[in-house]
């Protein structure tokens, strides 16, 4: 019996060490086209700066986050710990209980120092599970979605999580329509077959399209 207990303690200890070694992580995403071109962007995480590539609709590599409360700072030049930060920064606070997160970088014309802002989204397992999709409607229109057998209404400038369209990975039918403010009519946006990855968390974006009255809708899969 003592041997069994010792083995169990060793297994639990190894699991805890593995989790601590992995720590908490973040990935960066630029869902919209930046209005300022040819920027070199660096993200200071409380210990060091990471250079990030402003690739639209593409997740960055997985970055590690230090523990505790952190203030992320977005700068145009690399800044190391102990150095003075320039005025050209955008910042976002991360609480100590946040685990994994998604960091969105968006245009912010009102920021005189740097025309960008950061939005922190906690995507820990309590907020978003594998197979689910977090939808972010960044327009002023209501979006009606049919995702497999699930119907979803995404209110203007809101977020909502949709359940997996199936228990296993595979294709499913998705269709979207949008409803203008003060209108009951719904206009079709698109209809297509999408791939569902049951092992990944997904993010769905509805953003304004500068070249069309129809919004742009796309999804990104995140496996960590």
Listed in order, the ranges of the chain carrying CATH 2.60.40 are 24-122
Residue-level pLDDT at 20: 36
DSSP letter at 182 equals T
What are the start-end ranges of the E strands in the chain? 24-29, 41-44, 49-52, 63-65, 70-75, 89-94, 101-107, 116-122, 133-137, 142-147, 150-154, 158-162, 170-179, 186-196, 201-207, 216-222
Per-residue pLDDT tens over the stretch 99-110:
999 999 999 988
Decide if pLDDT at 93 tops 70.
yes
Q: Which fold has domain 24-122?
A: Immunoglobulin-like (2.60.40)
State how far the Cα of 25 lies from the Cα of 161, in Å rounded to an integer.
21
Sign of the C-alpha dihedral, residues 9, 10, 15, 20? positive
Return the residue matching tokens 């973040």.
26
Which residues, 6 or more positions from 3, have their beta carbon under 8 angstroms from its beta carbon? Answer: none
State how far the Cα of 89 lies from the Cα of 42, in Å rounded to an integer.
10
Per-residue pLDDT tens over the stretch 121-134:
999 999 999 999 99
State how far the Cα of 34 lies from the Cα of 96, in Å rounded to an integer.
30
pLDDT band at 36 (very low <50, low <70, confident <90, very high): confident
pTM exceeds cut of 0.75 = yes
Pairing of strands 186-196, 116-122: unpaired
Q: What is the mean pLDDT of residues 149-167?
A: 96
Q: Are 173 and 193 in contact (CB under 8 A)?
A: yes
pLDDT band at 140 (very low <50, low <70, confident <90, very high): very high
Pick the more confident residue, 146 or 76.
146
């Amino acid at each position: 019996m003592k041997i069994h207990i010792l083995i169990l303690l060793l297994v639990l200890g190894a699991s805890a060490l593995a989790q601590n070694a992995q720590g908490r992580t973040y990935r960066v995403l630029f869902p919209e086209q930046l209005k300022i071109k040819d920027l070199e962007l660096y993200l200071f995480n409380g210990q060091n700066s990471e250079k990030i590539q402003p690739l639209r609709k593409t997740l960055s590599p997985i970055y590690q986050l230090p523990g505790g409360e952190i203030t992320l700072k977005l700068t145009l030049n690399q800044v190391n710990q102990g150095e003075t930060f320039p005025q050209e920064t955008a910042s976002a606070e991360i609480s100590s209980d946040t685990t994994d997160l998604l960091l969105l970088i968006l245009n912010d014309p009102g920021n005189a120092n740097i025309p960008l802002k950061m939005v922190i989204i906690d995507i820990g397992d309590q907020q978003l599970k594998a197979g689910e999709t977090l939808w972010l409607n960044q327009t002023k229109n209501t979006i009606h979605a049919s995702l497999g057998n699930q119907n979803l209404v995404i209110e203007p400038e809101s977020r909502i999580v949709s359940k997996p369209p199936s228990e296993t990975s595979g294709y499913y039918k998705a269709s979207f329509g949008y409803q203008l403010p003060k209108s009951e009519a719904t206009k079709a946006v698109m209809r297509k077959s999408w791939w569902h990855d049951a092992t990944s968390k997904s993010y769905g974006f509805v953003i304004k399209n500068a070249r069309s009255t129809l919004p742009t809708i796309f999804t990104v899969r995140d496996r960590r």
